[in-house]
Chain A
Amino acid sequence: MQTIDLTEVGLRETNQTLHAQADNTNQTEWEIVNPRGSHAIACGLNAPIEVTVKGSTGYYCAGMNQQATVNIQGSAGPGTGENIMSGKIVIEGDASQYLGATGHGGLIVVKGNASSRCGISMKGVNIVVQGNIGHMSAFMGQSGNLVVCGDAGDALGDSCYEAQFFVQGSVKSLGADCERKEMRDEHLTLLQGLLDEAGIDADPNNFTRYGSARTLYNFDVDNAGAY
């Protein structure tokens, strides 16, 4: 286990040290102490390493992540895991707005609640939230899965494409062109797999699936007045 004190080492050197780890590095376990809500901690990692951040983080922690597993032992600020490509991010506390925005792959797990715009423009990332999510989540979601064990806020999945959403609790309102969908066997299997991977004990049968009604895919002249 390598321990980095962020207040002593500084952000840039900390991230450069983590970036310097090769695919076959022997130093696979890292711990960052004294994060003090700093921005961009463990951003741009690209090695199969495990990084544990001992405390709460600010903007953009673990952004652009590839391969690495980042565990945040606190709450995470806005834009955490933005554009994640692969790997895994686990947030023990709450996540602020636009968690996992534009994420292409990998998994993000939130043990607490996620705020507004969770998974906005998601492009393949899987996000599992044990608590609730805020308004405008998965806006323009293109691909990937958003699992919510609690409730979803206003305008879930507004203008979404092929991302799908599984919500166990209530949905305050659905966004434009987002609708309730049938839960078939393949969805139950997919959801069980995501819950298992996230380490969350919940019954897939209690969830409702939502997705695109696919009426906004192409421009329809009848909608011209809406623009």
Chain B
Amino acid sequence: MCGIVGLFLKDKSLEPKLGEMLTSMLITMTDRGPDSAGIAIYSGESKGRTKMTVQSDDPENAFDGLDKALGKAIGGTVKMSVKSTHAILDIPEGTTSAARAALEEMNCGLRVMSCGDSLEIFKEVGLPKDVAARFDISSMSGSHGIGHTRMATESAVTTMGAHPFNTGDDQCLVHNGSLSNHNSLRRRLRREGIHIETENDTEVGAAYLTWQMQNGATLGEALESSLNDLDGFFTFVVGTKDGFGVVRDPIACKPAVMAETDQYVAFGSEYRALVDLPGIEDARVWEPEPATVYFWSHNDAPTSTEKAA
């Protein structure tokens, strides 16, 4: 099954409550998937800086002195804030590739969960309520975010198999469904030089989008072409720096409900996830159409590229 929630705030006064609202929505979806849970939050950016969220199974040792060591390796200031098994590394703009390479060199078992100016991803094995508590998601503020609770079908229950998946800077993907051509597609993408870590089907979906965008497609175009190239069932919710998008496969057997008011756009695998949102009684509530790409953006005057994304 799996459960997905998403919340895109139009009303800035709700931003301090984003984490709390998303957490409550995700916990409601627990019985759609108790294996692992994750949340991607767009918590805002600071000028000249960018972020990496990293995870370790041995956070005490791995994060000890990591900021200084990484700062030395990339030749800049690194600020680190540790949350349980995850650490958010605040690094100078434009040093993401160097930081990635330096972390690999250090060989300290760190896994990169996300990169981007605004995006932070937190995910672990366990129930949504435990995962959310571990990272204190409820206290987080932000402009938009998506969450996922997993019932594993195609690969093992691990941190790396948990959603959301980072597909590119400030982009992430969650998935309800199962892809049936992920093995052949993984081989194809690896030949194209795309790094794919696990046997997970959604990671292949995420890598596919990354590959398409590396070849010049906008996120919107990449999602459109996923309708042709991905075989299987999917409801995808994608996060971008400015907003989020939704696409369902043409069969659309994986459920999806959306609600929109003047204050927010919300996504839930079921209506249950939305019932505590403010003003839901008067919200426009509908099911997204199959094989149709939807997007909401904070960017009022997008460039043509951003618009298509």
Taking Cβ atoms with an 8 Å cutoff, the residues of A that contact B are 36-38, 56, 58-59, 75, 77-78, 93-94, 96-97, 115-116, 134-135
B271–A75 touching, CB < 8 Å: yes
Residues of chain A with a CB closer than 8 A to B270's CB = 37, 58-59, 77
What is the CA–CA distance of A38 and B271 in the complex, to the nearest angstrom? 9
Residues of chain B with a CB closer than 8 A to A115's CB = 287
Q: In the complex where A78-B255, A96-B255, A97-B255 touch, is A36 in contact with B287 (Cβ < 8 A)?
A: no
The contact of B275 among A37, A93, A94, A97, by CB within 8 Å, is A37
Residues of chain B with a CB closer than 8 A to A56's CB = 271, 285
Residues of chain A with a CB closer than 8 A to B253's CB = 97, 116
What is the CA–CA distance of A38 and B31 in the complex, to the nearest angstrom? 12
Residues of chain A with a CB closer than 8 A to B286's CB = 94
B285–A75 touching, CB < 8 Å: yes
Residues of chain A with a CB closer than 8 A to B272's CB = 36-38, 58
Does B290 lie at the interface of the complex (its beta carbon under 8 Å from any beta carbon of A)?
Answer: yes
Q: Which residue of A lies closest to B31 (CB)?
A: A39
Does B227 lie at the interface of the complex (its beta carbon under 8 Å from any beta carbon of A)?
Answer: no
Q: Which residue of B lies closest to A115 (CB)?
A: B287
What is the CA–CA distance of A120 and B275 in the complex, to the nearest angstrom? 29
Residues of chain A with a CB closer than 8 A to B196's CB = none
Residues of chain B with a CB closer than 8 A to A93's CB = 285
Residues of chain B with a CB closer than 8 A to A38's CB = 272
Q: A97-B252, A97-B287 are in contact. List 12 more A-B contacts (CB 8 A).
A: A36-B272, A37-B271, A37-B272, A37-B273, A37-B274, A37-B275, A75-B285, A77-B271, A93-B285, A96-B255, A134-B252, A134-B290
A94–B271 touching, CB < 8 Å: no
Interface residues of B in 254-309 (CB under 8 A from A): 255, 257, 270-275, 285-287, 290
CB distance from B287 to the nearest CB of A (A): 5
What is the CA–CA distance of A135 and B287 in the complex, to the nearest angstrom? 13
CB distance from B131 to the nearest CB of A (A): 23
B252–A116 touching, CB < 8 Å: yes
CB distance from A100 to the nearest CB of B (A): 17
What is the CA–CA distance of A74 and B32 in the complex, to the nearest angstrom? 23
Nearest 6 Cβ contacts at the A-B interface: A37-B271, A37-B272, A36-B275, A56-B271, A115-B287, A37-B275
CB distance from A85 to the nearest CB of B (A): 25
CB distance from B280 to the nearest CB of A (A): 9
Residues of chain A with a CB closer than 8 A to B290's CB = 116, 134-135
B271–A58 touching, CB < 8 Å: yes
Residues of chain A with a CB closer than 8 A to B255's CB = 77-78, 96-97
What is the CA–CA distance of A38 and B270 in the complex, to the nearest angstrom? 9
Q: Which residue of B lies closest to A135 (CB)?
A: B290
Q: In the complex where A37-B270, A58-B270, A116-B252 touch, is A96 in contact with B275 (Cβ < 8 A)?
A: no
Chain B positions 71 through 83: 1 when the CB is less than 8 Å from some CB of chain A, otherwise 0:
0000000000000
What is the CA–CA distance of A14 and B253 in the complex, to the nearest angstrom? 29
Residues of chain B with a CB closer than 8 A to A37's CB = 270-275
Residues of chain A with a CB closer than 8 A to B252's CB = 97, 116, 134-135
Q: Pull 18 A–B residue pairs with CB atoms less than 8 Å apart, ordered by A.
A: A37-B272, A37-B273, A37-B274, A37-B275, A56-B271, A56-B285, A58-B270, A58-B271, A75-B271, A75-B285, A77-B255, A78-B255, A94-B285, A96-B287, A97-B255, A115-B287, A116-B252, A135-B252
Residues of chain A with a CB closer than 8 A to B257's CB = 96
What is the CA–CA distance of A75 and B255 in the complex, to the nearest angstrom? 14
What is the CA–CA distance of A75 and B259 in the complex, to the nearest angstrom? 12
Residues of chain B with a CB closer than 8 A to A116's CB = 252-253, 290
CB distance from A136 to the nearest CB of B (A): 8
Residues of chain B with a CB closer than 8 A to A78's CB = 255
CB distance from B281 to the nearest CB of A (A): 8
Residues of chain B with a CB closer than 8 A to A135's CB = 250, 252, 290
Which one of B250, B257, B287 has the highest number of Cβ atoms from chain A below 10 Å of its Cβ?
B287
CB distance from B307 to the nearest CB of A (A): 28
Chain B positions 160 through 180: 1 when the CB is less than 8 Å from some CB of chain A, otherwise 0:
000000000000000000000
What is the CA–CA distance of A209 and B252 in the complex, to the nearest angstrom? 27
What is the CA–CA distance of A93 and B250 in the complex, to the nearest angstrom? 24
What is the CA–CA distance of A115 and B255 in the complex, to the nearest angstrom? 11
CB distance from A91 to the nearest CB of B (A): 13
Residues of chain A with a CB closer than 8 A to B273's CB = 37
What is the CA–CA distance of A135 and B253 in the complex, to the nearest angstrom? 11
Interface residues of B in 128-156 (CB under 8 A from A): none
Residues of chain B with a CB closer than 8 A to A59's CB = 270
Q: Which residue of B lies closest to A78 (CB)?
A: B255
What is the CA–CA distance of A115 and B287 in the complex, to the nearest angstrom? 8
CB distance from A121 to the nearest CB of B (A): 15
What is the CA–CA distance of A59 and B285 in the complex, to the nearest angstrom? 16
